[in-house]
A and B are shown apart, each in its own frame.
Chain A
Amino acid sequence: MDILRIEDLRKTYGEGENAVHALDGVSFSVKKGEFVAIIGPSGSGKSTLLHILGGVDRPTSGKVYMDGQDIYKQNDDQLAIFRRRQVGLIYQFYNLIPVLNVVENMTLPVLMDGRKVNEARLRELIQTLGLQGREHHLPSQLSGGQQQRVSIGRALMNAPAIVLADEPTGNLDSKNSHEIVELLKLSHEKYHQTLIIITHDENIALRADRIIAIEDGKIARDEVIRT
């Protein structure tokens, strides 16, 4: 069953002679629970694709269906609620709120939604992510790897339909990179979540179920590694 389907997605920056076609007619679909790695050289359009999939950036044309619903038919507020409930975003630079501690950062999407925090899930995530004892630390008191774990926790806290990770290990050393990938894989298996990851690292890509390679805004290769 497809959770995500995109049709003829195009994104152009600038106008006229200066126009840059970041995405040029991209179409594919992702099954529920699938682990997809998107690879490609710098400037190929993979980050743009991820942001459009996450409802962060609007496409110039084309459709993005999440659970059969065209997400860009929604207004800004509806799109914000969609991001909050359906998407978990993980960034290369973690993007944590510096004034909030670990627990507050992790529970941010739930609290923003005005809902009660699921304490059991929070405890479980903290346990899984190895953040015990760090619950009340501010981001500035954590290492890069720990900050990325918090970022993963924030993405998973709301049990979103899809988790999007943009170079989650790009800012980490190899030991931390390895741990983060293990965690992502673990959470994917444990919570049966759809995971789309953008990476330069072929080793990480090879751990995915499917690899989509993008070049010059187009899909150059789409291969299923394992089913």
Chain B
Amino acid sequence: MSIMNTITWKSMRKNKNRTLVTLIAIILAAAVFTSILTMAVSALDFLIRSEKNRAGGYYARFSYLDDKTAMTITQNETVKNASSFDVLGFVKMEDEESNWSSFLLASIDDAFSSMMPLSLVEGRMPQNANEILLPKQAVDVFSYCGSPCAVGETVKLDAVTHYAELAPILGDAEKASFSKSYTIVGIYEDYAYDEALVLQSILTYTDEADDVLYQNVFVTTKHPSDAYALLKTYPETARVHTRLLSYYGATEYANYNLVIWLIAFALIFVVMIAAVSVIYHAFSVSVSERTKDFGLLCSIGATKKQIRRSVIFEAGILSCLGIPIGFLIGFAMDVLLFSALGKRIANLIVSAIGEESAVQIHAVLSPLVILFVLLVTGMTVLLSVWIPAMRASRAVPMDAIRQILLYKPDKKTKKRPKKASLRFGVAGMMAKKYHDVSRKKFRPIVMALTLSIILLITATSLGGMIETVTMASIRVENHDFRLYQVSDEQIQAIKDSGLITRSAWIHEDENYYAYAPNEAFSKEYRDAFENIQAYYTDRALNIQHAEIIYVEDAVLESYLIEHGIDPKPYLTSDDPIALVCDSRLLTPHFQDENGEWVHYSYQLMPFDENTKSVLFLTYFVPEEIQSQYMKSDESWMWGYVSENDKILAQMIPNTTTVVDGIVHMGGFDESRAIYFEVVVDENTNGAPRASYYEYDKENDIRHNTPVCVLEGKDVVREYPLGEYISERPFGVSEPVSGKIELILPLSASKSATYWAVNTNQYLMFKSFLDELGVRYTDNCEEEENARTVRMLLDVVSYGFSGLICVLSLAGALNTISASIVMRRRDFGMLRSLGFEKRKIYHILILENLFHGLKAILIGVPIGLLIHFGIYLIQKEAVITSFTLPWNMLLLSVGSIIVITAAGIFCALGNLKKVNLIDSLKNDNIT
């Protein structure tokens, strides 16, 4: 170690507190960087594993290939691994009642099971062409049809080699068939839900002697993006595994990889700023303390480079120590977090992506993260240390030799009036002088305090936004369980069990189309919507969706009494008044007549209090369905409509205008197709009409020509409106944005959707329901999930923000304290002149009052601007009104006072250990 580094090392050991503060800042920065990056890598790893588990680990698949093409693809130089799935025929299993199911019979190679989400439930994989593996789904079918289905048994399969769906590929080849006996060697299951995948097939082992109808090839490429090049080579039959590739960051759109890294880097950027501020101040203090050392070293021949290097050496030593410790702490934090809350985090991630997952998330130790943490923390430390190092290298030997702290007056100071400072006596004058004469010297303090305020407001605001946005999508119910389709016996058993404390029958009747006369709305609301044709007509203002919730009469009655509302008009079963739920009505962006985007938003249904009276709800009933299948006492039904010799099947609520999807089921001889949502309009005679359009899922396009048109009639009902309520009656869900909800007594309805119950024995009641075989929704578990998510968010957002604030405040504390300690010669001089200790305290307090005020004046407006920016971003997701963050402001001002006071007292504590008069003698530089 060179002498310069020895001096640095010894100086670090001597100033243990300062070294420790810097070290802690580096450790925290490295820990947070590690934690963020590990979370990003772990989330990506989780998504990749989930997707492999869900749909397989292939990058591209090629279908309907002949031998030669399959060979060409597998031998392509970009292909890393390939697996084949050769279709041999189609096995049709039929029971005595002519119910049938069909299965593919296919042969697979050794690589198939490692590339596709296939797991053995029993037995082993087939090892020759006379052995088969049955899908779990086939076992029941085989059993119903009286075929052997157990492992070890031999089954004779009759297969055909022609299938209507494959006519375009197989051409007019004659329909052939073959029979072969196979030994069942295993049963497998898969998690695949993609119908385009070829699982759920009877699988045997590849044999060159078998006649193959066509081949499917699954490949991974050397680099994920190569899959696209390969795709272009064989465009007719190829498909890429888009979602998996998007997790690898190899897609051009919906690039989840990029999104996750962008979020991670945005967070890292914020942490980096906080960390730089703290580490910078720590080094700045260190350099200030050692200015005399540097000056002296210069006077005896140290070069600027040597001085600069000695400061960077200090940074290097602390980094070498801090980064590994920080890395271990950050990684351990993630390991603990994932082991405690892994399931919840996994649910949170998959709900954001819109998929389900059977795998779990865990902390992944990646060399990439280690490299990034080294790089990012190294950069943070280097950025922090660069200015102090440059300042150190400019140390003037004369300053060291003269041994006097000389203040160089700022130009501004000369013209400053003295009156203000004199109000506080000599202490005030001294404080003002110190503050005015050398602003540069005190700039780090003001900067540290200002940054603390800004970070405090920003971090709290960010944390609030994350929590608001996430919690807005989480609904917590006011009841424990919802029971569906419970029989009278089950109801009695539940009541007799003594496990329920409260219950209510609820019927939800959704998807109405609602409008109300114009005069029922407030003028402001009418003005806002006047130009929007979709909402506004001359006669009425459309509200779009509405829902009627029927609540068990007794429960509704007690609710009304509890809320001081006369229950009588609300419980008349013939013509009850509707309670109006104070739901959030969301009206997002619209284009006005000039094509400009306008944003309207209302939190409450804006009826005029004086004129509110009625709401009209309409629903469309297709006549064809109504005449053939509608049953008034059923809430849900299946409707079958024949048209052009095709079978359409749809599941619709009996009083609805909106159908989520309509699926042409297809048959053994027909291909499948999916049709999209119904659009209700009027036919040429003014009668309502529902049209069904084909939906291209691959390209997310709805075709223009309807494939099915149903004519029917609109049913309009008039609802008198009663009181507005914000708290829901027991058993009713929390509101959904963009929908008006009316509450009526259950006696006005003819059915019930669910039975809401509360229990005093959660686990016992749950197992009781399981034993009874009742279908239910467990709100307690969901509530627990929501609570955990909230806790997680609190930990992540507030904990994280708190950490940043603590870092910056610690930096400020250190800066104030060190600045005071460094001036002990001045204080010694003042003491020698007869200043009492009390007056020195006054100087310090007043001086720091100036700094604090200055920091508040700069920091609060900047913090508020950032808070407003965050509000604007938040408003895009959740409509809330802007409020001034008084709590945050009070907190930040309070923090500044506390930190300044703490800084002063810490410094005074240190000064007490030193005899101030002795410091005047200045026997050595320190």
- Give the interface of A toward B (CB within 8 A): 51, 54, 56-57, 76-77, 80-85, 87, 89, 91, 93-100, 104, 107-109, 111-114, 139-140, 144, 147, 154, 166
Contacts and interface: CB of A to CB of B under 8 A. Distances in A.
Please name the 4 residue pairs, one residue from A and one from B, whose CB atoms are nearest each other, closest first.
Answer: A84-B301, A111-B3, A99-B10, A83-B301
B6 A104 contact: yes
Contact of A112 (B4, B14, B924, B925): B4
Interface of B: 2-4, 6-7, 10-11, 13-14, 293, 296-306, 397-398, 400-401, 403, 922-926
Given A77-B303, A77-B305, A89-B300, A51 B924 contact: no
Contacts of A96: 924-925
Nearest to A84: B301
Contact of A98 (B304, B397, B926): B926
Nearest to B4: A112
B15 to A, nearest CB: 10
Given A77-B305, A81-B301, A140-B924, 12 more contacts: A84-B300, A89-B300, A93-B924, A95-B400, A97-B296, A98-B14, A99-B7, A99-B11, A100-B6, A109-B300, A112-B302, A139-B923
A147 B301 contact: no
A145 to B, nearest CB: 12
B301 A80 contact: yes
B298 A97 contact: no
Given A51-B401, A56-B397, A80-B304, A93 B299 contact: no
A131 B343 CA distance: 71
B3 A104 contact: yes
Contact residues of A: prevailing secondary structure: helix
A77 B304 contact: yes
A82 B923 CA distance: 27
16 contacts: A56-B299, A76-B303, A80-B301, A80-B302, A83-B299, A83-B300, A95-B296, A95-B299, A98-B925, A99-B7, A100-B6, A104-B3, A108-B3, A109-B300, A112-B3, A112-B300
Given A95-B400, A104-B6, A112 B923 contact: no
Nearest to B402: A47
Q: Output the residue of A84, A93, A166 with the most chain B CB within 10 A.
A: A93
Contacts of B926: 98
Nearest to B307: A80
Contacts of A91: 401
Contacts of B305: 77
Contacts of B922: 93
A57 B10 CA distance: 28
Contacts of A99: 7, 10-11, 13-14
A85 to B, nearest CB: 7
A112 B301 contact: yes
Given A95-B400, A99-B7, A111 B924 contact: no
Given A95-B400, A100-B7, A89 B299 contact: yes
A96 to B, nearest CB: 6
B2 A111 contact: yes
A93 B3 contact: no
B13 to A, nearest CB: 8
A52 to B, nearest CB: 11
Contacts of B7: 97, 99-100
B410 to A, nearest CB: 16
B300 A108 contact: yes
Contacts of A112: 2-4, 297, 300-302, 306
Nearest to B296: A95
Q: Output the residue of A80, A89, A109 with the most chain B CB within 10 A.
A: A80
B923 to A, nearest CB: 7
Contacts of B2: 111-112, 114
Given A81-B301, A83-B299, A98 B3 contact: no
Contact of A57 (B301, B398, B925): B398
Contacts of A139: 923-924
B828 to A, nearest CB: 15
A94 B925 CA distance: 9
A164 B303 CA distance: 20
A109 B297 CA distance: 9
Nearest to B293: A97
A117 to B, nearest CB: 10
Contacts of A77: 303-305
A147 B923 contact: yes
Contacts of A154: 300
B18 to A, nearest CB: 14
Nearest to A110: B3
Given A99-B14, A112-B297, A147 B3 contact: no
A162 B472 CA distance: 80
B698 to A, nearest CB: 69
Contacts of A89: 299-300
Nearest to A154: B300
A108 to B, nearest CB: 6
